[in-house]
A and B are shown apart, each in its own frame.
Chain A
Amino acid sequence: MSLSHYIALSLILCGIGLFGMLTRRNLLGIMLSVEVILNGANINFAAFAHFKAADPVAGAIFPIFVMAVSACEIAVALAIILSMYRHRKRLDVYRLEKLNG
C-alpha cells in the first residue's frame, strides 16, 4: 500500500459522499453522506502524516479535531432536522420548496 492508494481511497469516498448528497432524498441520508466526505478527508490527513509529512503529529491530531467539530455540526443538524420533521412530518428534501423564486 502506497500513499497514492490512500489518496485514491479518500477521493473515492469524497465522490461517494457528493453523489449521495445529490441523489439522496432523505435529510438523514444527506447528513450521512456529509460524514463520508469528512472521513475521506481524515484518511487523507492520516495517510499524509504516515508517509510524507515532516510534522506527522499535526496530521495525526487534525482528524481528532475534525471528529469533534463534525460531532458539533451533526448535533446542530439533527436539531434542525428534528424541528423540520415537526413542521412537515416528512424528511424529504423535495418538500423544501416553500422558499423559491
Chain B
Amino acid sequence: MTLLLPDILLVVLAALVMGYDLYKGNNSDSSLPFHLSWVGLCGIFVLLFCLPYDQTVLYLGGYQVSGTTILFKQVFILSTLFAVLLSRPYFTPGGSQRGVLKYQGEFLFILLLCTFGMFTVVSARDLLTLFIGMELSTIPLYILSGFYKNDDLSVEASTKYIIMGSASTGLLLFGYSFLYGAAGSLTFEAVAQVCMANPQEPLLKLGMLFILAAIGFKLTLFPFHMWAPDVYDGSPNPVTAFISVSSKAVAIAFLLSLIYGPLAAMHNFLEPIFLVLAAITMTVGNLGALKQTRLRRFMAYSSIAQAGYIAMALLGDAGTARSAIIFYLFVYAAGNYSIFFILSIIGRNGRENRSELQGLGKSNPMLAAILMLSAFSLAGIPPLAGFMGKFFLFAAAAEKGYYFMVFFAALNSTISLYYYLLLVKEAYIVQPANEPAPLVIDGMQRVSLLVLTAIMLVAGIWPSFSNGVLAVAG
C-alpha cells in the first residue's frame, strides 16, 4: 500500500484544497489553498523520492506501480509544483499586466486533479484505465487554458484547444476499439500476446495508426501541431508552462507504455513512422520559432521542436529510450519553467515580447544570466543539463543505426541555437530605446529560479543524477 501513498495523498490534497474553498465561500482572498498545495506537493515529491524503485506491484483495475512510473510521477509533481508557484502572482492584484485571475482554489484543485490523471496514465496496465487517465489529464487543461474569463484571447485559445482535443479523443477511442478487437480483452497482457503471436495483424496496425494520430495532437507532432502556438499564446502563463511540460510528458509516457509494453513486437513497423514524424516535427518547430517575436508563441514552437527530439528517442530499444526520455523530461521541465518564470517577471508590467528583454543584462544581471543558462540548456550547450539530455536521446537513435537521423537532429539543434541566442542577444547586446522600468521579483520567484538553475547545472555536471535515472528505467 505504501507504493500507492503518493497517489492517494494527491487526491486527498486536491479534496482539501477544494473543501477549504467551498467552506470559505467563493473568491476568498485567502492564500491558504496556495500554501497547502505547494507544501503538499513538496511532501509528495519527497515521498516519491523515498519509495523503493525496484518493486513492481499490480493493483486492482490495472494500476501498476514500478520504478519507471515513480520517475514519471516525480516529473509530473515537479511540474505541478512549479506551475503552482508560478501561478501565485497571477492571483494577486498587480501581478500581471493581463489582469488578475480569480478562483484560486478551483484553479489549484483542477491542476491537482489533472496531475492525478497523469499519474493514472503512467500506471495504467489496462486500456480502460488508460482511457480514463488520459481524459482526466486532458479535460482540466481545456478549463485551465480559458481561465481568464474576461480575456478574449484566453477564451479563444480554450475553444481551439477543446475542438482539437475532442477530435483527438475520438481518434484515440477508435484506436482502443481496434486494439480491443484484435486482442479480445482490454488488458495489456492480452494485447501483448496477440501482438507477439501475429505482429502483422491488420487490426493492431490500424489501431496503432489511430492512436498515433490522436497522441500526435497532445505531443504536437508534425501534422497535428497547429493548435499549439495559438493555445500557448492565449492561455494564462502558468497554464502554458504546465501544458508545455506536463501535457507533453504525459503524451510521451503514454506512447512509451504502449509501444514498449503490449505493442513491443510491432516496433519494426512503427520505426519508419517515428523517423519521419520526428524529423519533420523538429524541422517545422525550429523554422517556425525563427520568426516569432511574442515569447509565448516562441516557446510553443521551441517546444514543438523539442517534441521532435523526444520522439526521435522512440526509435531506440526499450531501456535506453525510456531512460533517455525521462532524463530529458527533467531537464526540459527545468529549462522551460525557468524561462516561464522569467516571462512572468517581465510580464508583470510589460508585454511578453522579445523586445521586452532588452537591457536585462545591465538592469538585472542575475535574471539575464539565468535566461542565458536556460536558453543554452534548451539548445543543448555542453556544460548544461540539456546537452546530456540531448546526448542520451541521440544515443538512443544511434544505437539502432539511424546515424543519418542523428546527423539531421544535430543540424536542427544548430538552427535552434540561433533562435535561443536571439534571446540572449536581446538581453545582453541590444540597447533599449528608453530606460526600462525596474523589474519586481518576489522572493518565491527568486527561490524557484535558483532551484531550477541548480537543477540545470547539477544534472549536467554531476553524473550520478543521470546514472540514477538510467539505472531505474533502463
Residue ranges of A at the interface with B (Cβ–Cβ < 8 Å): 7, 10, 14, 17-18, 21, 27, 30-31, 34, 37-38, 40-42, 44-45, 48, 52-55, 58-59, 61-62, 65-66, 69-70, 72-73, 76-77, 79-81, 83-84, 87-88, 93, 96, 98-101
Contacts and interface: CB of A to CB of B under 8 A. Distances in A.
B153 A34 contact: no
A34 to B, nearest CB: 4
Contacts of B100: none
A62 B187 CA distance: 13
B233 interface: yes
A99 B184 CA distance: 45
Interface residues of B, number: 43
Contacts of B234: 99
Contacts, number: 133
B230 interface: yes
A2 B292 CA distance: 54
Contacts of B190: 54-55
Contacts of A7: 181
B180 A53 contact: yes
Most A-side CB within 10 Å, residue of B157, B163, B173: B173
B325 interface: no
B146 interface: yes
Contact of A52 (B163, B174, B184): B184
Contact of B163 (A30, A62, A87): A30
B180 A45 contact: yes
B145 to A, nearest CB: 9
Contacts of B132: 65, 69
A96 B160 contact: yes
A50 B176 CA distance: 16
Contacts of B155: 80, 83-84, 87
Contact of B167 (A18, A72, A100): A18
B177 A44 contact: yes
Interface stretch (B37-45, B82-90, B135-143, B236-244): B135-143
Interface in B158-183: 158-160, 162-163, 166-167, 169-171, 173-174, 176-178, 180-181
Given A38-B170, A55-B186, A84-B159, A73 B180 contact: no
B131 interface: yes
A69 B149 CA distance: 24
B230 A73 contact: no
A76 B292 contact: no
Contacts of A77: 142, 162, 166
Interface of B: 127-128, 131-132, 135, 139, 142-143, 146, 149, 152-153, 155-160, 162-163, 166-167, 169-171, 173-174, 176-178, 180-181, 184-186, 190, 229-230, 233-234, 292, 294, 297
B146 A83 contact: yes
Given A62-B186, A80-B162, A99 B146 contact: no
A17 B153 CA distance: 27
Contacts of B152: 87-88, 98
B158 A80 contact: yes
Contacts of A10: 174, 177
Contact of A14 (B159, B160, B170): B170
Contact of B128 (A17, A62, A70): A62
Scoring A7, A10, A73, A81 by chain B CB atoms within 10 A of each residue's CB, the highest score goes to A73
17 contacts: A7-B181, A27-B159, A34-B169, A34-B170, A42-B173, A44-B178, A45-B177, A53-B184, A54-B190, A62-B127, A73-B135, A84-B159, A96-B156, A99-B157, A99-B229, A99-B230, A101-B292
Nearest to B293: A101
Nearest to B166: A34
Contacts of A55: 184-186, 190
